[in-house]
Structure 1
Amino acid sequence: MSDLQERGAADGDERPAVRRIASRVVYENPWMVVREDEVERLDGSRGIYGVVDKPDFVLVVPEEDGGFHMVEEYRYPIGRRTWSFPQGAAPGRRVVEPAELARRELAEETGFTAGRLRRIGYLNCAHGTSGQGFTVFHATDLTPGEPDREAEEQDMRQRWVSRAEFRELVAKGLITDDSTLAAYALLAMDGLPAG
């Protein structure tokens, strides 16, 4: 059984709603693989499904003094700068233990190290086109340091925002990252004050 079939059958059904018949890679680079699958649906009809395979990533919510440390950078696909929580995947599509990766991403993007790093959930993103997901961590007891950003992050800025300012940035369209908003919701559902 393929990984796609296993996911389809994970909810207790014996037969997945969509079954992969064949697959071919149509594009690949160090960050992703794009494939086209020939599939068969429950009624026997066939079709194709485009899938973007990317490794899971981590997102860190660094909280301090009633607010959050956030990063802002130019996002090429949308053509503008936006704010988000620090996040990322291991280079070269490598698999790294999530807590280790979270500590690395937090330090790289903000310079902070976390005295306490707590996992608060796992979510999927763009689940209509990709199996990629992300683990969300809440970081507290922060110690400042110097960021060590990758070349792609050379324009990145970082600063602290209050919870009220976080909501204002969302309202103004300056936070549009779905992963950041989902992490904020997880934090609220975790029983921690979210505003």
Structure 2
Amino acid sequence: MDVRPDSEHPIRRLSTEVVYESPYLLMREDRIRRLDGSEGIYSYVEKPDYALVIPIENDGLHLVEQYRYPIRARSWEFPQGAFPNKEAGDPEHLAHEELRQETGLTAAHMRHLGRLNSAKGMSSQVFDVFVATELEPGPNELEVEEQDLLHRWFSRADFEAMIRTGEITDAATLAAYTLFLLSAQ
């Protein structure tokens, strides 16, 4: 097996080991060889891909707010989530489910805007961004981890003001909104 790095793959994996696993993620530690021939360790997280939904209605957006334990703070963000138990599936189906579960909204139309890396320096996770329109209200179906989740509609002006003041800091939400703005041009 040729494990020499090349210009396309400047870091080659020599071996891999799962050092931690939970129902939500894997933590890997890979022995690697760099372009200069030196060897080292690269640790990273494997999490399932997820879908993020921008629900648009009446020149405004629906957001959810929930407590995010790693930062010990509440966060306003677009509805987003992954399939349970590290499963994979159709991203558009996941987007419809996450929107319904977190907000109770169902969308007649779901448009795919793009696929983005979550935190490519430390995780293999990616997410698909969708815009949901022609929304119908209904009951939500929160998971136990989401029992404190709030759902609210904001005008675009208020949403953008929340970005400017630092009230919205979720990187996935900000990146998705950038895709949305660029798709409107």
Query: What is the TM-score normalised by the length of structure 2?
Result: 0.95
Seq. identity, %: 50
Structure 1: gaps (5+ residues): none
Distance 2:149 2:143 in 1: 10
Give the equivalent residue in structure 2 for 1:124.
117
Q: CA deviation at 1:94?
A: 0.2
Deviation at 1:131, TM superposition (A): 1.1
Alignment of 1:174-193 (within 5 A): 174-191=167-184
Q: Deviations over 1:148-172 (max 9, x none)?
A: 0100000000000011111121223
Distance 1:82 1:131 in 2: 23
1:35 to 28, 33, 39: 28
Determine the structure 2 residue equivalent to 1:166.
Answer: 159
AA partner of residue 101 (structure 1): L
**Residues in 2 aligned to 1:164 and 1:94: alpha-carbon distance in whole angstroms:** 37
TM-score of the two chains, using structure 1 as the length reference: 0.90
- Corresponding residue of 2:81: 88
CA distance in 1 between counterparts of 2:120 and 2:92 reads 23
Secondary structure of the corresponding residue to residue 173 of structure 2:
helix
Q: Secondary structure at the match of 1:148?
A: coil
Name the amino acid aligned to 1:91: P
The RMSD of aligned alpha carbons is 1.6
The one-letter code matched in structure 1 to 2:130 is F
Q: Matches of 1:162 and 1:172 in 2, distance apart?
A: 15
Q: Secondary structure at the match of 1:77?
A: helix
- Match 1:63 to one of 56, 80, 83: 56
Runs of 4+ in 1 over 6 A off after TM superposition: none
